[in-house]
Structure 1
C-alpha cells in the first residue's frame, strides 16, 4: 500500500498539466513559467539539498514572501525527506531568534531586502550555519550565504527513482503560532497530515479548487502553508499566481488583470484596501469569482459591494495553526437555495460548517456540551487527521490545550440548528462584566458595518465595580467625523442588546496594532490603554 505523502502532489501536475502556468511577482519583476519547468527545478533543488547533506531528519527554514522560489522550496524540502519550517517575516527580532533556535533549523532560505537584513542583523544569535538567498545573487555580507540561482545550478534534475523513500509519518512541515498570549508555539505536520488537509481543501466542501481556476493566495506562505493553497492548487493542476513581497492593492490588481485570477484569499484588510483602490483608480475585477476570508470577519457592507458591483462572492473561513489552517467555510447549503438574500447573508457572515474529516464539540465552563441552538455558548473543541496532537517542545501548553485527542481551540462559539459555527470571541478576549459575557467580536463587527468606520477593536478594561467594561477603538474613514454618541446609537439599532453591553468609551485612533499575521493585537492594544473605569 502506498504511503500518503507529497509525491503524488508533485507527480500529478508535472505529468498531467505540464503546460499550466505559474506566475510570480518578485522584487526583480514577473516570472512566468510552466509546471513542467517547475518540476525540473524542484528535482534539481532536491539534488542540491542532498549534496549539502540535507534530507530526512533535517529542518529547512524559510523566511520569505509568496513567489516561485519559495513555492519550489515548499516541494523540494519535504520531497527530500526534510521538514519545511516557514517563519513569519513580520515577527519581531526576539520571536525570530526564539523560533529559529527552538526549531533548531539546519539552513534558512530567505528573501532579499528586509528579510535578509533581519537575518544578517541576528546572525550571531541563530544556530544555522548557512543561508540561501532566494535571488540571483547575494549582497555583500559576512553571513555565510549562497544565491538560490547558484544552488539550483549545482543540482541536476533527478529521476523518479532517485527521490528518497518517504513515509507518511515523516515530519513534512512546521509552523509557529502568532504568539498573541506569549511565546509562539511550534506545531509539526506529517506528510500524511499535509496530504489529508490539502485533499480536503481541494474538495467542493473545502476551498473548492478546480483545474480551471487561476489561484492567487495573498495570505502569506509563511502563515500556515498559505492556507494550503500551494499544495491544493498544485494537486488540482490550477494556474497559480504568487503576489510577491509586501503586495499592495495596485500590485494585486495588476496580477488579477494580467493572469485572470478567479480565486484568491487573505485577511479582510487586503480586500477593503483593494476596493478603495478600485474606487479611486478604477480596475478590472471581471475574472475574479471568489475570495476566501480568514483572520477576522469581513464587514457585510464590503461583502455586498463585491457581490453587487463585481459579482465576486466572499466566503468566510475559520482555522488555526493547530488545524493546518482551514477548518470550516461558510456557504449556504443547497436546501437554502430559495432563501432570500438577507437570510443567506446571516449564514454567510458566520464561520460556516466544519470541513470534511473533522469532528467538533462545544463545551461550557462545566465541561458539558451545549445545545446547537445559536444561543448557547462554549469553547470549540475539534479533532481529526489535520489537527495536531501536541505542540513542539511545550509540555505545559499540551496539558492546557489538548484533552483525550481533542484540541481546545480557545474560540468561544455558538452552533446554530443547521450546524453553522459563529465565533463569539476568543476565550482570552471575551469581556466578563458583572458576571455576564460581552462579545468583543460582535461589537467590532457591528462598528465596522458603519459606513464611516474602517476598523474597530474592542477590549475589556478593568472596572472597580463590574470587573471589566468594554472600550472600543475605531479608525474612522478618511474625512469622517464620527463621535461616540452616534456610534452608540448605531450599535443599539444594529444589535438590540441591553445598555450594559455597549462600550463605556469609544476612542478614535489613527491605527490599531496588528499581529504579524494581520489580526488585531489586543495584547498590545491593552498595553496602550491606561484606563481604569469607575462609577464616578
Structure 2
C-alpha cells in the first residue's frame, strides 16, 4: 500500500519520541543503573540505523542479538526492523549445536552480544562453519573484553559518530521484521518470521483492555527475557503506549527485582512462575516496598493458586497469559469479564487459574480426535487450532513441519484444551505430555497444579512412564522445601491427589529431586526426565487393580 499507510513499527517510535520525550527508559547493567529519555533513545536508535547501514546491512538482512534485558538491546528492537532488516533474537541458553544451526539457518550478518555471554558465543562460534556468514560481532558495552572472535567492536564505538537523524524508509507491512526460533527440545529449532504487520497487530491487541491494557502512566518491567519471543512484545507495546521502561539486566535476583520495583515504581511486570515464586519467598523474609506494583503477568506454565492468592492479598493482580512463538506470542489473558461479578471465591479462583479469554483479533476452534469440534462445556477437550493476523502460516525453511502443523489457515498448536461456557480456556496438557493410562487420559498439568498447591513444594512436574499393562502411568517429581520430613511429604501429596481425582490418576510414585530440569526458555523439560526414567519398574508404586481405569 503506497503512501506510508501500511501497518509497521515505525509509528510507535515516532509517537513515543514526539509525545513522551521525557519519559524514561531505565536499565540495570553490569555498570549499574543507567537511564535516559525517549528523546535520547530515538537519537541512539537513529545512530544505530546509520551504523548498520554503514556496515552494509540492507533491507531483508538478518541481524541477531545474543543479549539479556537492557537498554542497548531495546535499541535494536527498533533500530533493526525500521530500516527493513530483520531482528533475530537468539536464546543464549540453547546448546551450542542449536545456536550453530540457528545462525546458519537464519543467515545472520551481524551478532550483538552481551559481555557476559561472549564466552558462550565463542564456544558456539569457534571453528564452526555455521558462523562463516557473520561479518561482525558487536559487544553491548563501551569496550571489548578479551576474545578469540574476529571482527569485534564495542557497541558505543559502533554507533559513535553516526548521525542522530535517519531517513527511515517506507516499508511494506509484509516486510519481515523479526525472527525467533522454538526451543527445539524435540528436534531442531523451528524458525518463525514476524512481518511488520504481525508485530503491529500484536502490539495493538496487547494494548487493549482485553489484552494487557498498558497506559502511558504505567512503568513496565519485562522479566521474561527479550530473547524469548520479543519479551512477549512488551518493548513494542510499552513504547506504543508511551510508558516508562525498566529493564532488569542479566540474571536478576529476587532482591534485584524487589529493588527495581520499589525504586522505579514498577506497575506491570511479566515472567514465568519460577521468577515470582522467588520474589514471593524474598518478600516473605525481607522488607521491601512493592506497593506500586499493580499487575504480574505470568506465562510459560500455570501459576500455583497459593502464589496467586499471595500477590492478590497484597493488592497485586495476577494475570495468566498464554501464547506461542508462532503467535507473536500472546493469545489469551485471564481477565475477569463482565457478568461474573457474582462468583464465589472458588469460582473466581477457577477463572483466574485458566489461560483466559482470547485477545481481540484471534479466532480458534477445539478439535477432537475424530476431527470434529469440541463443545464449550469445560469438560470435553481437544487440540487448539488458532488463526489471526499475529499467527504465522509457516515455519522458516521447514516444509516437513508446515505440512504437519498447519491446515486451512489454522495453526495446530499441539495444546490440548477445554473451553468453558464463558469462553475461558484451560490447558489440559501439551499433546505430547498428556498421559494415557488404560485407555483413559490423565492431565499432567492438573496433577502438577495440585502438587504445587502444597506449602512445602517449591516445584513439581509429572510425566507418563511406560507401563507394561496400563500403557503409561503418572510419576511425580517434586522439589521440596528445605528441612521437611520427606516421607511425610510424599504421603501428604498422594493424599492431595486422592482427594481431588480418581484413584487411577494418583501417581505411582513421588520422586524428590533437587531441581526440575528446565528448557532454554525456563519451562519444565519433561523430555530430560523421560529419558532418565524410562521404565515403571524403577519406581516404588504399582498400580492396584481398583486404581486402574476400566
> Normalization by structure 1: what TM-score?
0.97
| Shift in Å, 1:452 | 1.1
1:48 alignment counterpart: 51
1:362 alignment counterpart: 366
Residue 122 in 1 paired to residue 124 in 2?
yes
1:317 alignment counterpart: 321
- Write out per-residue CA displacement over residues 138-158 of structure 1, whole angstroms, 9 at most, x where no aligned residue: 112231200000011042112
Between the aligned partners of 1:453 and 1:480, the Cα distance in structure 2 is: 10
State which of 17, 20, 24 in structure 1 corresponds to 2:20.
17
Please, which moves more after superposition, 267-276 or 1-10? 1-10
Change (3 A) 1:31 1:89: same
Which structure 2 residues correspond to residues 89-128 of structure 1 after superposition, within 5 A? 89-113=92-116, 115-123=117-125, 124-125=127-128, 126-127=131-132, 128=134
Between the aligned partners of 1:238 and 1:342, the Cα distance in structure 2 is: 35
1:483 alignment counterpart: 489
1:509 alignment counterpart: 513
Contact 2:466–2:534 (Cα < 8 Å) also in 1? no
1:411 alignment counterpart: 415
2:330 alignment counterpart: 326
- Write out per-residue CA displacement over residues 143-194 of structure 1, whole angstroms, 9 at most, x where no aligned residue: 12000000110421124xx112211110000000111211110000000110
- Equivalent position SS for 2:80: helix
Which structure 2 residues correspond to residues 325-344 of structure 1 after superposition, within 5 A? 325-344=329-348
State which of 239, 261, 266 in structure 2 corresponds to 1:261.
266
| Shift in Å, 1:62 | 0.3
Which structure 2 residues correspond to residues 137-148 of structure 1 after superposition, within 5 A? 137-143=143-149, 144-148=151-155
Between the aligned partners of 2:535 and 2:470, the Cα distance in structure 1 is: 14
1:156 alignment counterpart: 163
2:404 alignment counterpart: 400
Between the aligned partners of 1:293 and 1:456, the Cα distance in structure 2 is: 17
1:420 alignment counterpart: 424
- Can you give the 5+ residue segments of structure 2 that lack an aligned partner in the other structure? 545-550
Which structure 2 residues correspond to residues 232-247 of structure 1 after superposition, within 5 A? 232-247=237-252
Residue 59 in 1 paired to residue 59 in 2?
no
| Shift in Å, 1:530 | 4.3
Aligned pairs, how many?
530
2:547 alignment counterpart: none
- Equivalent position SS for 1:75: helix
| Shift in Å, 1:271 | 0.5
| Shift in Å, 1:535 | 6.4
1:199 alignment counterpart: 204
Between the aligned partners of 1:56 and 1:252, the Cα distance in structure 2 is: 38
| Shift in Å, 1:119 | 1.6
1:85 alignment counterpart: 88
- Equivalent position SS for 2:157: helix
Contact 2:225–2:231 (Cα < 8 Å) also in 1? yes
Between the aligned partners of 1:290 and 1:341, the Cα distance in structure 2 is: 20
> Normalization by structure 2: what TM-score?
0.95
State which of 422, 430, 445 in structure 1 corresponds to 2:449.
445
Between the aligned partners of 2:481 and 2:497, the Cα distance in structure 1 is: 17
Change (3 A) 1:49 1:507: same
- Equivalent position SS for 2:536: coil
- Write out per-residue CA displacement over residues 392-448 of structure 1, whole angstroms, 9 at most, x where no aligned residue: 011001111000100000000000000100000000000001110000000000000
- Write out per-residue CA displacement over residues 304-333 of structure 1, whole angstroms, 9 at most, x where no aligned residue: 01111x211101010000011110000111
Contact 1:465–1:535 (Cα < 8 Å) also in 2? no
What root-mean-square deviation, in Å, do the aligned CA atoms of Structure 1 and Structure 2 show? 1.2
Between the aligned partners of 1:304 and 1:498, the Cα distance in structure 2 is: 27
| Shift in Å, 1:477 | 1.4
| Shift in Å, 1:341 | 2.7
Between the aligned partners of 1:321 and 1:53, the Cα distance in structure 2 is: 29
State which of 326, 350, 355 in structure 1 corresponds to 2:354.
350
| Shift in Å, 1:51 | 0.6
| Shift in Å, 1:340 | 2.5
1:218 alignment counterpart: 223
- Write out per-residue CA displacement over residues 470-502 of structure 1, whole angstroms, 9 at most, x where no aligned residue: 000001112222433221111122x2x211111
Contact 2:508–2:543 (Cα < 8 Å) also in 1? no
